[in-house]
Chain A
């Protein structure tokens, strides 16, 4: 195995799970997310000299996975089902289910900035560069998304206390 192959293999194995989790958080379907991320890693290897020098290669994979999603869905000749349809159900009424549902109800941009922060641990400036928006806009989306999730946490807690 060449150095380049060893380097890619290490990157792939360490990055697979966080990239899949980030894409699931954004698109809400697991099987498609795994397919898209696998395709994105194949593209990363096809352009490894470029991707290996990218400042945030995991973010490159996630963006590529999201961008390739449309053609995957077309090839499969079907519409993307509703978010969360193929995910193992969290216990109904539980905090996990509430938070997952709340996340998928957020506007797309808010989901993106939150997923990139949670799973890829990117700072605001890097997220802004990846999404092609201003850092202030990232902060706005983050703040609104977090506020919505906080409301859900409070609501779930109140419901639990009432029962």
Chain B
């Protein structure tokens, strides 16, 4: 039977999608007791951590080390390494993101890791979002190394060999903005980053042919090279 779906209401479409996903089996829930035991362990660990932090803080204050626990920003240095990227928190509060363009970035992994470092971002595979006009301040938020790159300027000759690195300064991001990362595999391997207004942007399912203002091509090279 040939039926059209054009006249389906939004609710009908959502119901069809829900029904489709509901065909996937879901494992029975673990025992609630086991979950609560796990939660208790986590709570104990948190309380122990707070206790240790409190003790260390008191000791530091006693020694007059106010710089370590005083009003200075609570930046913790650290590095997250995956096959596709390395994200390093720097002592000055900026973050360095090094991408291995030969490995497909899992969008939600990168997005979660950026969020963990205080960088609001939306990462998508096969989609790139931008705001027109772009929010001001992109060049203060994102710099490309070596040498820095002006907003709206594409990185040239960036083959699969070198691993591109960008430095992100989350404290320079204007309120209401976030970074948009788009990664593409075809027809070129390409990674694009832009600063967007998170309440007003448009997305395209192809890599931008003309780079909008407030965006940067992090890497681009032909697929298969």
Contact = CB atoms under 8 A, between A and B. Distances in A.
Given A38-B35, A80-B106, A46 B40 contact: yes
B24 interface: yes
Interface stretch (B61-69, B88-96, B108-116, B161-169): B108-116
B71 interface: no
| Interface size grouping (class) on chain A | 35 or more
Interface in B22-55: 22-27, 29-30, 32, 35-36, 38-40, 42-43, 46
A123 interface: no
B22 A42 contact: no
B162 to A, nearest CB: 21
Nearest to A4: B36
B35 A149 contact: no
B115 A67 contact: yes
A12 B35 contact: yes
Listed residue (A45, A136, A161) with the most chain B CB atoms within 10 angstroms of its CB:
A45
B108 A38 contact: no
Interface in B102-148: 103-104, 106-109, 111-113, 115-116, 122-124, 126-127, 129
Given A8-B36, A79-B106, A149 B112 contact: no
Interface residues of B, number: 55
Contact of A153 (B8, B22, B107): B8
A45 B109 contact: no
Nearest to A28: B108
B123 A149 contact: no
B83 A79 contact: yes
A96 B32 contact: no
A154 B32 contact: no
B17 A149 contact: yes
Contact of A109 (B3, B43, B104, B122): B122
A8 B32 contact: yes
A107 B32 contact: no
A108 interface: yes
Nearest to B39: A45
Interface string A30-72: 1000100011011111111000000000000000001101110
A137 B201 CA distance: 9
Interface string A116-127: 011100000000
Interface of A: 5, 8-9, 12-13, 16-17, 20-21, 24-27, 30, 34, 38-39, 41-48, 66-67, 69-71, 73-74, 78-80, 82, 87-88, 90, 95-96, 99-100, 103, 105, 107-109, 114, 117-119, 133-134, 136-137, 142-143, 146, 149-150, 153-154, 157, 161
Given A48-B39, A79-B104, A87-B24, 19 more contacts: A9-B32, A9-B36, A17-B29, A20-B26, A21-B21, A30-B26, A34-B26, A41-B39, A42-B39, A45-B36, A71-B116, A74-B82, A79-B103, A80-B106, A95-B16, A99-B17, A99-B20, A108-B107, A157-B4
21 contacts: A12-B32, A12-B35, A17-B26, A24-B26, A30-B24, A34-B27, A38-B30, A45-B38, A48-B39, A67-B112, A69-B108, A79-B82, A80-B109, A95-B16, A99-B20, A100-B24, A103-B21, A107-B122, A107-B203, A108-B107, A157-B2
**Nearest 7 CB-CB pairings of A with B:** A45-B39, A70-B112, A16-B29, A42-B38, A80-B106, A99-B20, A153-B5
